[in-house]
Amino acid sequence: MTPWVVFAGVLMVAGLGPALAVGVRGRALYRLTGLQLAGPVTVLVLIAVSAVLGQSSYLIVPLALVLLSFAGTLVYTRLLTE
């Protein structure tokens, strides 16, 4: 096992677990916090998977997710205020 595999596994358990737990229950503000946490953690996991597989072409997905995560947060916040 490479360090990248360990890094991706730790991030998935320690980062995405709490983000999903916060994001699926509670008030809307807590769900927004879970969404904010899940985006960057997912990007880091996908970058680690790309490093494990040695495919630089797999970096397109995390880069697109960064932009979509930011836009999704803005849309969610806009709908939250209405």
Whether 19 is covered by a domain: the verdict is: no
For the chain, give the percent of residues with pLDDT over 90: 16
- Per the domain annotation, does 22 fall within a domain? no
3-class SS at 1? Answer: coil
- The parent domain of residue 72 ranges over 3-14+27-81
Task: Work out the pLDDT band at 77, boundaries 50, 70, 90.
Answer: confident
pTM of the model: 0.81
Residue 66 lies in a domain: yes
Asked if residues 42 and 19 have their Cβ atoms less than 8 Å apart, the reply is no
- Whose CA is closest to 80, among 9, 27, 19, 43? 27
- pLDDT one-digit tens code per residue, 11-50: 889 988 898 899 898 888 888 888 888 889 999 899 999 9
- 20 belongs to a structural domain: no
Position 21 in a domain: no
pLDDT of res. 76: 84
Count of structural domains within the chain: 1
Give the pair of three-digit tokens for residue 38.
């899940």
